[in-house]
Amino acid sequence: MLLQMLDYLGVAVFAVTGGIMASRKQLDFIAFLFFATLTGIGGGTLRDLLLGVPVFWVANEAYLLVCLVVSILVWFFADWIETLSKPLRWADAVGIAAYSVMGAAKALTVGDTILVAVLMGVSTATFGGVIRDTIAGEPTSIVKSEIYVSAAFAGAGSYVLLVQLGLPQVLCMVAAGLVALVLRGGAIQRGWTLPGYRGRTR
Amino acid sequence: MLLQMLDYLGVAVFAVTGGIMASRKQLDFIAFLFFATLTGIGGGTLRDLLLGVPVFWVANEAYLLVCLVVSILVWFFADWIETLSKPLRWADAVGIAAYSVMGAAKALTVGDTILVAVLMGVSTATFGGVIRDTIAGEPTSIVKSEIYVSAAFAGAGSYVLLVQLGLPQVLCMVAAGLVALVLRGGAIQRGWTLPGYRGRTR
Amino acid sequence: MLLQMLDYLGVAVFAVTGGIMASRKQLDFIAFLFFATLTGIGGGTLRDLLLGVPVFWVANEAYLLVCLVVSILVWFFADWIETLSKPLRWADAVGIAAYSVMGAAKALTVGDTILVAVLMGVSTATFGGVIRDTIAGEPTSIVKSEIYVSAAFAGAGSYVLLVQLGLPQVLCMVAAGLVALVLRGGAIQRGWTLPGYRGRTR
């Protein structure tokens, strides 16, 4: 139940980032719909293909309706959204938090090991944004010297850890989601970074 | 039967666009083969993975032979092909028409809902071209302010609609394919666009 | 057994190339881990999805440990690695050799035809490098006028051919792997190319 809520949340906020990207590129409405849907369902689609379970939006088309509604809203309110501070990056941050936990949780549900669960959380949290940026021809966030993959890693890792400690699932989800969100939020607002590789090379 | 014909057509014309891309990059023959095959089978491969059915060219290698033959033909006749008007974009247009209908039809065949069928048509019609352009380092057609995703959407949508109306499948396919082709053709020849997002942003 | 060794080798050397890319971009350790893992398991993941078999690292997480260990080693020794001659390209060459054979072998194992096996070898040998370069925003090796796809093609093709001749599997693997490695090595050290397409176009 909570798992499903988190899934809808992840889809919706990633769809928002796709819609914002389309509005910045001044695309038409169908392209809006395409970008929002692609970004919204991309991460979860990869997760389900890797886990070998039916793709979630093929099984339940309500997720596609979420993307449709988000596209319409962003189409009409993108101007207002852009008056907010860094809306694309914050929506992306919420999406990373939701999907890093959700990806790890679904992997544990189907009986995979903790290492696989962490990687599933990380890859599905970052995949939607990566394809959004790649198709839009923008540099992906992964190669910026910011906490990005690390936030997804922290979210998925702390969820798996808390579950191992036997805490109630709701608590694990909320706590792990907040860990990811705070880390990514710190990167967005304060420019938090981890020490990067500094060699003689280059 | 007609479904299969459409599948071969989609593979062949997308393979042509891959071959033309390789000739423009002046690559060697194996790279020709690679680009033609990747573009030819890319969309259908994504479709089958998402639907959870066996990948079509793994089940039937005749599709790979089509890509091989197309590669050889493009290798020898690319110069002549380039004398035609906008050959890559027109072949791509035929591919979008064939695959948008084919993707939707296969999704309906395995029992998916109409919304899923439309999305399957759109994503598989555009995916081959997206990976072709991404790997070649060219901007994808999706971010140009042209009717592109919209043509795939119109093709898949009108197919699903016509099938719901109970018309014979052959008629639905031909009509829906023409809708997509005319829309995309108008974009290529006349520069047809849909109104893009025009906000204060950017 | 040997198949598994080759799989670990392919994962490890591709992970090295991912780590080197991350060090050149001066990313943090988690991004190192991400790039190394993505590049290490990318090709095999595609192969398993296409073949419709369980994804290898979901079934056996030892592969993820390999990527973790490689990431740590590259993090500490990237400076020293860069003193070697063209380390990223040579590690990539070993990976192509290992994976072109491995991809073809696994396809034959699950009963696919020889044409499918060759394509499986080619695509899984090149896919890890393609996503590494795409996400890093670097041009992919495929569009350079070098023997790259061709080396993978020669490796997969000669493996399938030798197996058809009834030679022992170990011999087929070693010989085919060497074919790919020598071809790619020649391209790296001597600039070997195949004749590219030279038309009037462009």
DSSP string, C146-178: SSSHHHHHHHHHHHHHHHHTT--HHHHHHHHHH
- pLDDT band at A199; cut points 50, 70, 90: low
Kindly tell me if the per-residue pLDDT of B198 is higher than 80: no
Q: A197: which chain C residues are within 8 Å (Cβ-Cβ)?
A: 22-23, 26-29, 32, 75, 78
Q: Does A82 touch chain B (CB under 8 A)?
A: yes
What are all long-range contacts of B56-60, with beta carbons under 8 Å and residues at least 24 apart?
B56/B7, B57/C116, B57/C119, B58/C50, B58/C51, B58/C52, B58/C112, B58/C116
Q: Does C142 touch chain A (CB under 8 A)?
A: no
DSSP string, A32-89: HHHHHHHHHHHHHHHHHHHHTS--HHHH-THHHHHHHHHHHHHHHHHHHHHHSSSHHH
Chain B nearest C-alpha distance from C138 (Å): 9
Residue of chain B with shortest Cα separation from C154: B30
CA dist A181 → A6, B15, C16, C25, C38 (Å): 14, 44, 30, 25, 23
Query: Which among B11, B135, B138, B140 is the top mutation candidate for probing chain C, defined by the most C β-carbons within 10 Å of its own β-carbon?
Result: B135
Q: Does B135 touch chain C (CB under 8 A)?
A: yes
pLDDT tens digits, one per residue of A1-23: 677 888 898 899 999 999 999 88
Residue of chain C with shortest Cα separation from A113: C61
Nearest to C96 by CA among C139, C49, C39, C55: C39
Residue of chain A with shortest Cα separation from B195: A28
More confident residue, A146 or C30: C30
Nearest to C59 by CA among C44, C70, C71: C44
Q: B134: which chain C residues are within 8 Å (Cβ-Cβ)?
A: 134
Query: Which among C11, C34, C82 is the top mutation candidate for probing chain A, defined by the most A β-carbons within 10 Å of its own β-carbon?
Result: C34
pLDDT tens digits, one per residue of A60-99: 889 999 999 999 999 888 888 887 777 888 888 999 999 9
Helix and strand numbers (H, E) in chain C are 8, 0
Weakest-pLDDT range from A75-84, A96-105, A190-199, B142-151: A190-199
Q: Does C64 touch chain B (CB under 8 A)?
A: no
- pLDDT band at C200; cut points 50, 70, 90: very low
The ipTM is 0.83
Q: What is the pLDDT of residue B197?
A: 73
